[in-house]
Amino acid sequence: MPHFPRLKSLIDVDVAIIGGGITGITAAYLLSKAGKKVALLEKEILCSGATGLTTAFLTQSVDTDFSELVEMYGTRKASAIAKSHQYAVDRVEDIIRKNKIDCEFVRCSNYSYALDENDAEDLQDETKVMKELGIKARFKEDNKLKFENQGYIEIPRQAKFHPLKYLSALSKITSANGAQIFEKTEVKEIRGNGPYALKTPSGEVYAQQIIVATYAPFNKKMYFKKAFYDTYVFELKVRKGILKEGIYEDTMDPYHYFRVDRKGTYDRIIIGGEDHRSDIPVNDSKNFQALKQYIKQVFPDIRYRIIRKWDGPIVEPVDGLAYIGPHKDKNIFYATGFSGNGMTYGTLAAHIITNEILGKADAQIRKFASVYDARRMPTFKQLMHKGKDYTRELFHGAVRNSLKYEKGKA
Ligand SMILES: Cc1cc2nc3c(=O)[nH]c(=O)nc-3n(C[C@H](O)[C@H](O)[C@H](O)COP(=O)(O)OP(=O)(O)OC[C@H]3O[C@@H](n4cnc5c(N)ncnc54)[C@H](O)[C@@H]3O)c2cc1C
């Protein structure tokens, strides 16, 4: 990543963006391109938050099943959710092409696979719902995935990329567009009712509008956040061609996900899962052991070498959808609650908020904005739906791992 100075003075801008991950950098890029005077303030260095830890699937196959989203939000909204994520995948590709960014962007299929027959039946039902919502999904039972499964959904034209290569280039372009980017600059407080004063230990920014792109808002008690989750990841080196290139997830609760990348003389698999609430004290090593066990179960014949392992935070919203836009004050915009879909949500949030700041009347983006409105109140039915999911996840993941594995063995 390129490096930027610490804020050391008093500056005046149209829009101040707090947080230098995919959401903040994309918003800074779009606004500076449109001629706005922008300051981007990052407390550490760019992409030191969740964006630096991501596995970077770009997909409309979101964490909550579409059959559930239809029950919770109805067909019209569920269809808009599906379209909004595909819109975000396409926008990332547009930005890459327009700016000729070399960042390993590859169009590929998303595969949701079932390891048992009951889950395969559910996937068949899910495929029908997806098709009704306009997703080009197909249920398949062939051997093309090259590992044992009971059936899978294939969604074509999804994508994967290297987010840091993408955002490194985008932040340089954004800076060249005239946006002022500051690192090691933590916003401690927002004062005023517009224009606003953003206080940092080394300087101050005055702004007409603010985007809070800090993953979870730092300045607000978040009633819309269910919890922080931890997710665990291994990067593996394997022999070339043993699996199809693509992005994959299973149907378990908590679920597992992996991507297969072609790398010159070998292939890389980045595989993750075993998510649990961060406030539940489960020793990390037990979750890594569970993930290793899963690799053994699904790929019994594949020989691999572990290159790296890490874990990272996921912000889960109470009702399964991100919160994007103003909350109480119409000039302070939020973007949070992205679950495991923040590459698309972050891109989408940047487009929705930019559209609003620039006063554009793009009907499609306005429709997306209404679905993710940060002022909405979740209904009892929506809370119950997600509540059931989260409870299942807890007992099949964190609690099981805690009882089954020994501390410090991963
Ligand atoms: C292991 C893992 C795998 C994932 N896999 C996927 C995936 O395959 N596909 C997908 O779509 N999503 C995935 N996600 C989710 C996705 O990575 C995140 O949702 C996304 O990166 C969030 O981007 P962001 O810009 O909103 O937040 P962040 O990247 O967290 O950026 C927020 C920034 O704000 C800064 N900040 C915080 N407070 C302040 C302050 N007061 N002042 C100044 N700066 C501040 C932080 O330092 C940070 O750099 C994954 C996440 C993890 C952890």
Maximum C-alpha span of the chain: 63
pLDDT, residue 280, reads 76
Q: Please give the pLDDT value at position 242.
A: 94
User: What pLDDT does residue 389 have?
Assistant: 65
Q: Please determine, for residue 251, whether its predicted confidence score (pLDDT) is greater than 80.
A: yes
- Residue 243 main-chain phi, psi, to 5 deg: -130, 155
Distance CA 170, CA 167 (A): 5
Q: What's the gap in Å between 214 CA and the centre of ligand 1?
A: 7
Contact 353 CB / ligand 1 (< 6 Å): no
Residues sharing a CB contact under 8 Å with residue 44, sequence separation 6 or more, in sequence order: 183, 184
**Residue of the CA atom closest to atom 49 of ligand 1:** 49
Answer yes or no: CATH 2.130.10.10 is held by domain 10-54+164-223+319-377: no
Rounded to 5 degrees, what are φ and ψ at 339? Answer: 45, -140
| 229 three-state secondary structure | strand
The mean per-residue pLDDT over the stretch 315-321 comes to: 89
Structure confidence at residue 378 as a pLDDT band (50, 70, 90): confident
Q: Are 189 and 64 in contact (CB under 8 A)?
A: no
**Run of H or E residues at 315:** strand 304-317
SS3 127: helix
Helix locations, 150-248, DSSP H = 163-176
- Which pLDDT score, from 0 to 100, does residue 204 have? 98
Residue 381: Cβ-neighbour burial (10 angstroms; 0-12, 13-18, 19+): exposed
Q: Is the CB of 43 under 6 A from ligand 1?
A: yes
pLDDT of residue 398: 61
CA distance 343 to 82: 14
pLDDT at 164 over 80: yes
The pLDDT of residue 224 is 61
Query: What does the DSSP 8-state code read for residue 112?
Result: E
For a pLDDT cut of 70, what percent of the chain falls above it?
A: 91
Hey, where are the domains in the chain? 10-54+164-223+319-377
Residue 53 beta carbon below 6 angstroms from any ligand 1 atom: yes
pLDDT(396) > 80:
no
Tell me which residue has tokens 């990067």.
235
Going from the C-alpha of 124 to that of each of 78, 147, 154, 247, the distances in angstroms are: 18, 19, 11, 19
> Both tokens of residue 200?
């940092």
Atom of ligand 1 nearest to the CA of 219: 41
Helices (H), 275-362: 284-298, 342-357
For residues 46-62, give the mean pLDDT. 97
Residue 402 reports pLDDT greater than 80: no
Q: Residue 377 has what pLDDT?
A: 81
Mean pLDDT of 156-163: 98
Cα–chain-centroid distance for residue 13?
28
What is the distance between the alpha carbons of residues 201 and 212, in angstroms, rounded to a whole number? 18
Confidence check: pLDDT of 143 > 90:
no
Q: Bigger pLDDT: 1 or 379?
A: 1
Q: What is the pLDDT of residue 222?
A: 58
Per-residue pLDDT, averaged over 152-157, amounts to 98
Residue from 55, 233, 259 whose mutation best tests the ligand 1 pocket (most atoms within 8 A of CB): 55
Q: Cα dist. 345→21, 23, 100, 247, 349 in Å?
A: 12, 8, 23, 17, 6
Whether pLDDT at 387 is above 70 = no
pLDDT band at 313 (very low <50, low <70, confident <90, very high): very high
Span 319-330, average pLDDT: 93
Does residue 408 carry a pLDDT above 90?
A: no
Q: What is the mean pLDDT of the chain?
A: 92
Q: Looking at residue 275, what is its pLDDT?
A: 86
Q: What is the spatial distance between Cα 150 and Cα 141, in angstroms, rounded to a whole number? A: 7
How many angstroms separate the CA atoms of 81 and 71, rounded? 13
Nearest CA owner, ligand 1 atom 41: 187
Task: Verify whether ligand 1 is closer than 6 Å to residue 18 (CB atom).
Answer: yes
Q: Cβ(49) to ligand 1 under 6 A?
A: yes
Q: Residues of the chain with pLDDT > 90: what percent? A: 81
Name the residue with tokens 């407080």: 189
**What tens digit of pLDDT does each residue of 74-105 get?**
999 999 999 999 999 999 999 999 999 999 99
Asked if the model's pLDDT at residue 322 lies above 70, the reply is yes
- DSSP-derived pairing of the beta strands 203-212 and 266-277: unpaired
Distance (Å, whole) CA 280 – CA 230: 10
Give backbone dihedrals phi and psi of 100, rounded to 5 degrees, phi first: 50, 55
- Residue range 60-73: average pLDDT? 94
